[in-house]
């Protein structure tokens, strides 16, 4: 009986396989919740017989939409069956996300439309996972239940749900369908990397390799004698051809993901979208047999109609068919993006329909009434829901295309400096909702309205962003981004104002008067609006999110097409993306002026309209140097309204120590600390340095004890400092560069972690080599002093820098003023570390320039921008070598002093009494620490003001030299301590000014690098000094260390004095008749960053040819009275 059954089954299989099959596969992919019809443009010149009115513009044809697609599927199915062909209906993924229909109904509307069409199988796309497993499971449930007569199976061979995922039991690797009396295997495959990296599968849910999973499932079906295999994939047209079509046993690949329109010469002739390949694309699989590869565009605009003929062996004989475009009879003339489109007359309509029907691909189809009724109910709800509030704007946010064009409803004064905040917010939103992007670029014309104060609805988002653009990402180098911005600025001037670029994570200056290639200058990047602003790296690669319209090279953004190979479409409508952002943040606030992409702006008349906000400033104008330089220095200008309160806008140093620590001054933005100096931020930086200094110095007061415990002599103990310094030489330049690139905070955190590790190792050390290793780790992560001083430089003015640097030392030693036990030794040893590493300050003398405040129509106020000295050079100047050399000599003395002082005290004053020696050592440096604090707080600033920079350095050098000589000659411990106090006081008068000078002569974008090299030179001295001077101490005179220190100090001071200083220019203080004396500011020396050399800017900001009048005030200051105020017509004024 069993044999008979087996024979019968075998005969059935032979009969089944002996029958050829003519199969038509109707397919859809990537409809992305586009349930309504779409419009495409066809050039009128292609169509004969049109009236002059209709032929003057593009023909606008409505395609698809689910009601029409359902009718189209029904018609094509009926036609195929009439011709004796069997039919399958397949969907290749990305059914959901992209429009308000998904946002509001979470797949319910899509499931309803799909069930009315009733696909035979559906595979998953990456966007099915956008909201996690539960949302996808809900969608599948609806897909399989809303229509009792249709339960579409979901196939995904490479999707492996987590054990607890709600997707368990809802997915199949494949499904076998009976078609024309034969069996056809349908295998689903989803794109792996994109789904895992860009979507949100729930924890534990994963995707396996697409090719491996597909081949395994094909082999399983072939093992069941199913010899007609259709892969339904969501991997992209190229991947389908290179990976899927070359598998064993595959016959057909129905694809999705890349939204590819395939066609023939007829499709190309109509030319309403690029054609990516032939429909069908015919290839050979691994068995050398024919494979048909197809895809059906996007958004339900087309139906794929694939005709496949199988022979009796189940092999493909022929791949045929074409894309079909269901269209509506109501045809318009006018560009799709224009509001001027109109319905053409019946004669012109007949001409268009005749042209479309002749292609054989367009099909006039009426909407399915039942589907239209079902969709109408969702449409009504969408329109109602669009009116619901998704965010609130406390203040109006203005729209404009170009700065000051007046395209929105706001006064021109609101946008003429930096452009409109509305488009700026849109760019920021695109960056926020696109996980993979570093920066965002949006064309001004892609936005259309202001954001009114009050409630903001979904409909407002679509009114503001009315086009069917989607968000896409591309990979561009910094050089290409520069070219994109230049393309846009040029096109905006010569062709369309809507091309003007707004960006998030990028900022730059714009000069309309320059030629293409020179209009956009001083480009800075801040990826994802986190970390520090830094000059863009022309060779680095950045991921840019933008809209699909300009990504295709439209509006003059031609350079985007050079990166088209990296283009990834999210298929989220750009309006929907903005709506998601609005829902997430709840409150819509104009981005801060420092984050506006346009920082400086010179208009077509040559007037300086925008001064941006790279750093805030006071109402002060600086006379600019007369030397002529190339205009290629660019503009590089920026301004924010100064604070109306004197307590907010005066220099922090005007308030004393307490004021410095709590004042929220407006000034240069500290790296990744938000632009304001708070007490918490300053004290946190001081605390980090304190921790590092305590850790660094903790071992040196105990050198005698360490030597006795481990049997080490002075030379061996010197290896501790050597290990520290070798690591410091290797790593401090890297830490400095990293702090420039990634911001101060993350590098400080790394350094703190290294300090913790080295401290733990020191405390638990069981051998001398382990202590050496701990010091090496501490050296590798010991860049906190330089980075902390860089932060202080970011956060303070040029006058404040060296003072704050002195406070850094003073706070450390004031904290240790009452040591007990070993704390005394730790505090004492910290002194040498602090002296050696103090004050890596990184901001030079500031400058202030004046510009108009365009925000008042009746009265104007000149405002200025303070920008740090920036030579514009990306290399370290030769004069920095003098400072590095001086630092090397200073550290040579310090390191030798560290190495032998403990031994010197014990040998000279406390022979054999290790305890007394250690106690005196701690007490000595505690007194020195208090002295340094007093010098920093009460002495340094008055001396700097009374004697000036150079004389202060000389006085410090004299004190330091006398201190070392005194220690060499001191007859008693008391006089040794007095001499040490002289020595450290002198050092505290030199070190802050020296470090400030280094940042004055170096470009701002290499501060961290310069400071790293400075520390590296000092670390080299640490490497050699301990062993050399330890040897000299053991074998020669024990006072030699102090004599050498005195000599190196005498040599180092002239080296510092020989460093050329920037020439200080006369400054001007602006006095506005409408500004009270409490609002007036004082000025600081001018910038040497090259920005003031721009010819137009120099002429205007110096008051030449303007309505500004200058009168003498003292030797350097002049009062400038504003002669003309801006009129209500916003007439520009220099």
Over the stretch 489-511, which tens digit does the pLDDT of each residue have? 999 887 777 899 999 999 999 99
Specify which of 264-278, 468-482, 728-742 reaches the highest per-range mean pLDDT: 468-482
- Between 248 and 1025, the more confident residue is 248
Query: Same domain for 790 and 938?
Result: yes
pLDDT of residue 684: 67
- Do the domain assignments include residue 852? no
Specify which of 441-445, 865-869, 1100-1104 reaches the highest per-range mean pLDDT: 441-445
Task: Take residue 800 and report the two structure tokens written for it.
Answer: 């404040």
Angle at 138 between CA 134 and CA 139, to 5 degrees: 120
Average pLDDT score over the chain: 75
- Do the domain assignments include residue 741? yes
Write the CATH number for 290.
3.60.21.10
pLDDT-based confidence at residue 826 (cuts at 50, 70, 90) = very low
Asked whether 931 and 987 are in contact (CB, 8 A), the reply is: no
d(CA 352, CA 42): 10
pLDDT-based confidence at residue 945 (cuts at 50, 70, 90) = confident
- Do the domain assignments include residue 461? yes
Q: How far is CA 1052 from the centre of its chain?
A: 43
> Phi, psi (5° rounding) for residue 1062?
-65, 140
pLDDT of residue 794: 55
Residue 806 has pLDDT above 60, yes or no: no
- Do the domain assignments include residue 770? yes
Which residue, 556, 584, 604, sits at the end of a domain? Answer: 604
Which residue, 381, 407, 440, sits at the end of a domain? Answer: 381
- Between 812 and 931, the more confident residue is 931
**C-alpha atoms less than 13 angstroms from C-alpha of 924 in its C-beta half-sphere:** 27
Query: Same domain for 821 and 795?
Result: yes
414-433: pLDDT as tens digits:
887 888 999 999 999 999 99
Residue 682 has pLDDT above 80, yes or no: no
Q: Which of 321, 322, 252 is nearest to 283 (CA)?
A: 252
400-438 burial, b at 16+ Cβ within 10 Å, e below that, comes to bbbbbbbbbebbbbbbbbbbbbbbbbbbbbbbbbbeebb
Asked whether 614 and 865 are in contact (CB, 8 A), the reply is: yes
d(CA 779, CA 761): 13
pLDDT-based confidence at residue 754 (cuts at 50, 70, 90) = confident
d(CA 193, CA 568): 13
Residue 7 has pLDDT above 50, yes or no: no
pLDDT-based confidence at residue 691 (cuts at 50, 70, 90) = low
Query: Same domain for 685 and 813?
Result: yes
Specify which of 115-124, 343-352, 755-764 reaches the highest per-range mean pLDDT: 115-124
Query: Same domain for 593 and 710?
Result: no
Query: Same domain for 695 and 596?
Result: no
Q: Is the peptide bond before 280 cis (omega within 30 degrees of 0)?
A: yes
pLDDT of residue 676: 41
> Phi, psi (5° rounding) for residue 304?
-75, 130
- Do the domain assignments include residue 374? yes
Which residue is it, tokens 């916003």?
A: 1130
Which residue, 573, 604, 635, sits at the end of a domain? Answer: 604
What end-to-end distance do the CA atoms of the chain give, in Å? Answer: 105
Query: Same domain for 299 and 401?
Result: no
Query: Same domain for 434 and 578?
Result: yes
- Do the domain assignments include residue 1081? no
Domain encompassing residue 997: 675-844+874-1057
d(CA 644, CA 631): 34
Task: Take residue 449 and report the two structure tokens written for it.
Answer: 């309205």
- Do the domain assignments include residue 188? no
Asked whether 396 and 450 are in contact (CB, 8 A), the reply is: yes
654: number of Cβ within 10 Å: 15
Residue 370 has pLDDT above 70, yes or no: yes
Query: Same domain for 592 and 719?
Result: no
Write the CATH number for 893.
1.20.1250.20
Query: Same domain for 836 and 934?
Result: yes
- Write the CB contacts of 243 (distance below 8 Å, at least 6 apart in sequence): 210, 211, 235
39-71 burial, b at 16+ Cβ within 10 Å, e below that, comes to bbbbebeebeebeeebbebbbbbbbbbbbbbbb
Residue 773 has pLDDT above 70, yes or no: yes
DSSP per residue over 513-530, as a string? Answer: TSPTTSSEEEEEE-GGG-
- Do the domain assignments include residue 466? yes
Residue 1070 has pLDDT above 50, yes or no: no
Query: Same domain for 562 and 584?
Result: yes
d(CA 33, CA 101): 6
pLDDT of residue 870: 41
- Per the structure, the count of domains in the chain is 3
Write the CATH number for 505.
3.90.780.10
pLDDT-based confidence at residue 855 (cuts at 50, 70, 90) = very low
d(CA 532, CA 741): 7
Query: Same domain for 400 and 375?
Result: no
What mean pLDDT comes out for the span 430-442?
A: 93
Residue 665 has pLDDT above 70, yes or no: no
39-96: pLDDT as tens digits:
898 989 899 999 988 888 889 999 999 999 999 999 999 999 999 999 999 999 999 9
pLDDT of residue 779: 72
Query: Same domain for 408 and 295?
Result: no
- Write the CB contacts of 1093 (distance below 8 Å, at least 6 apart in sequence): 624, 625, 627, 628, 629, 630, 631, 633
């Amino acid at each position: 009986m069993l044999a008979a059954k087996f024979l019968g089954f075998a005969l059935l299989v032979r009969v089944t396989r002996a029958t050829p099959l003519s199969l038509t596969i109707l397919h859809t992919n990537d409809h992305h919740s586009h349930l309504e019809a779409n419009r495409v443009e066809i050039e009128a010149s292609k169509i004969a017989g049109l009236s002059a009115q209709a032929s003057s513009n593009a023909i606008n044809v409505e395609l698809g939409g689910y009601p029409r697609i359902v009718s189209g599927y029904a018609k094509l199915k009926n036609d195929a069956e009439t011709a004796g062909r069997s039919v399958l209906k397949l969907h290749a993924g990305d059914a959901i996300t992209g429009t308000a229909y998904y946002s509001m109904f979470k797949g319910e509307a899509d499931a309803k439309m799909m069930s009315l069409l009733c696909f035979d199988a559906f595979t998953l796309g990456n966007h099915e996972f956008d909201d996690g497993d539960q949302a996808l499971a809900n969608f599948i449930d609806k897909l399989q239940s809303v229509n009792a007569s249709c339960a579409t199976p979901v196939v995904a061979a490479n999707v492996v749900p987590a054990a607890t995922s709600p997707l368990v039991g809802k997915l199949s690797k494949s499904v076998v369908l009976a078609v024309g009396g034969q069996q056809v295997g349908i295998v689903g495959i989803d794109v792996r990397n994109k789904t895992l990296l860009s979507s949100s599968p729930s924890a534990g849910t994963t995707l396996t390799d697409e090719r491996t999973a597909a081949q395994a499932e094909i082999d399983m079906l072939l093992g069941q004698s199913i010899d007609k295999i259709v892969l339904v994939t969501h991997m992209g047209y190229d991947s389908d051809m290179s990976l899927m079509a070359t598998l064993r046993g595959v016959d057909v690949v129905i694809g999705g993901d890349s939204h590819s329109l395939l066609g023939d010469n007829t499709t190309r002739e109509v030319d309403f979208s690029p054609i990516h390949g032939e429909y069908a694309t015919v290839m050979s699989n691994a068995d050398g047999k024919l494979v048909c590869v197809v895809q059906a565009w996007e958004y339900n605009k087309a139906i794929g109609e694939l005709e496949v003929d199988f022979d009796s062996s189940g092999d493909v004989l022929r791949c045929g068919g074409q894309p079909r475009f269901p269209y509506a009879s109501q045809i318009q003339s006018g560009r799709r993006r224009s509001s001027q489109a109109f319905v053409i007359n019946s004669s012109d309509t007949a001409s268009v329909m005749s042209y479309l029907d002749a292609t054989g691909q367009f099909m006039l189809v009426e909407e399915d009434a039942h589907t239209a009724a079902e969709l109408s109910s969702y449409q009504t709800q969408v329109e109602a829901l669009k009116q619901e509030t998704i965010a609130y704007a406390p203040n109006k946010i203005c729209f404009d295309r170009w700065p000051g064009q007046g395209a929105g409803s706001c006064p021109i004064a609101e946008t003429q400096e930096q452009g409109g905040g509305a488009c700026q917010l849109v760019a920021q939103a695109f960056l926020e909702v696109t996980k993979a992007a570093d920066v965002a670029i949006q064309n001004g014309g892609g936005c259309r309205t202001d954001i009114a104060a009050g409630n903001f609805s979904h409909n407002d988002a679509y009114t503001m962003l009315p086009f069917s653009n989607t968000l896409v990402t591309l990979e561009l180098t910094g050089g290409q981004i520069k070219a994109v911005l230049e393309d846009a600025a040029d096109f905006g001037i010569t062709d369309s104002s809507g091309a003007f670029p707004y960006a998030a994570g990028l900022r730059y200056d714009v000069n309309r008067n320059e030629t293409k290639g020179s209009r956009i200058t001083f480009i800075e990047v801040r990826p994802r609006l986190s970390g520090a602003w830094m000059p863009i790296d022309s060779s680095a690669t950045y991921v840019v999110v933008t809209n699909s319209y300009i990504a295709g090279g439209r509006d003059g953004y031609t350079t985007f097409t050079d990166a088209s190979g990296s283009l990834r479409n999210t298929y989220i409508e750009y309006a929907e993306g903005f709506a998601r952002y609005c829902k997430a943040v709840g409150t819509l606030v104009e981005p801060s002026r420092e984050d506006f992409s346009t920082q400086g702006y010179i208009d077509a008349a040559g007037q300086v309209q925008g001064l941006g906000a790279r750093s805030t400033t006071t109402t002060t104008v600086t006379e600019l140097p007369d030397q002529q330089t190339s205009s290629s220095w660019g503009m590089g200008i920026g301004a924010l309204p100064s604070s109306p309160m004197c307590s907010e806008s005066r220099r922090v140093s005007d308030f004393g120590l307490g004021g410095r620590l709590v004042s929220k001054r407006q000034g240069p933005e500290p790296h990744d600390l938000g632009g304001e100096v708070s007490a918490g931020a300053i004290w946190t930086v001081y605390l980090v340095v304190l921790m590092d200094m305590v850790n660094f110095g903790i071992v040196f007061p105990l050198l005698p004890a360490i030597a006795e415990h481990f049997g080490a002599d002075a030379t061996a103990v010197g290896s501790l400092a050597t290990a520290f310094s070798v690591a410091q030489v290797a790593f401090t330049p890297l830490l400095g560069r990293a702090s420039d690139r990634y911001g101060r905070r993350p590098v400080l955190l790394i350094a703190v972690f290294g300090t913790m590790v080295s401290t733990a190792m020191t405390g638990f050390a069981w051998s001398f080599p382990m202590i050496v290793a701990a010091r090496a780790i501490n050296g590798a992560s010991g860049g906190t002093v330089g980075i902390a001083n860089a932060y202080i430089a970011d956060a303070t003015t040029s006058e404040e820098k060296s003072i704050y640097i002195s406070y850094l030392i003073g706070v450390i030693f004031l904290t240790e003023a009452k040591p007990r036990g070993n704390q005394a030794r730790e505090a004492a040893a910290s002194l040498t570390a602090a002296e050696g590493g103090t004050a890596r300050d990184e901001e030079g003398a500031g400058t202030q320039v004046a510009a108009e405040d365009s925000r008042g129509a009746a009265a104007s106020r000149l405002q200025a921008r303070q920008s740090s000295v920036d030579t514009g050079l990306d290399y370290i100047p030769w004069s920095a070598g003098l400072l590095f050399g001086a630092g090397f000599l200073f550290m040579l003395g310090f390191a030798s002093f560290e190495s032998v002082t403990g031994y010197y005290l014990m040998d000279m004053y406390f022979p054999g009494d290790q305890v007394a020696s250690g106690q005196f050592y701690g007490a000595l440096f505690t007194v020195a620490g208090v002295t340094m604090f007093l010098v920093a707080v009460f002495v340094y600033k008055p001396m700097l003001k009374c004697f000036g920079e150079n004389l202060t350095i000389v006085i410090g050098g004299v004190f330091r030299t006398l201190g070392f000589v005194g220690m060499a000659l001191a007859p008693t411990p008391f006089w040794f301590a007095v001499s040490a106090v002289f020595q450290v006081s002198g050092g505290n008068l030199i070190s802050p000014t020296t470090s400030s000078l280094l940042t004055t002569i170096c470009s701002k974008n290499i501060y961290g690098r310069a400071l790293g090299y400075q520390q590296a030179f000092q670390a080299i001295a640490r490497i050699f000094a301990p062993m050399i001077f330890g040897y000299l101490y053991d074998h020669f005179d024990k006072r030699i260390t102090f004599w050498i220190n005195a000599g190196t100090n005498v040599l180092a001071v002239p080296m510092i004095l020989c460093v050329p200083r920037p020439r200080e220019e006369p400054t001007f203080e602006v006095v506005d008749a409408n500004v009270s004396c409490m609002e007036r500011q004082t000025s600081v020396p001018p910038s040497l960053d090259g920005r003031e050399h721009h010819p137009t800017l120099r002429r205007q900001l110096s008051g030449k040819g303007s309505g500004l009048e200058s009168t003498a005030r003292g030797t350097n200051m002049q009062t400038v009275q504003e002669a003309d105020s801006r009129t209500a017509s916003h007439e520009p004024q220099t």
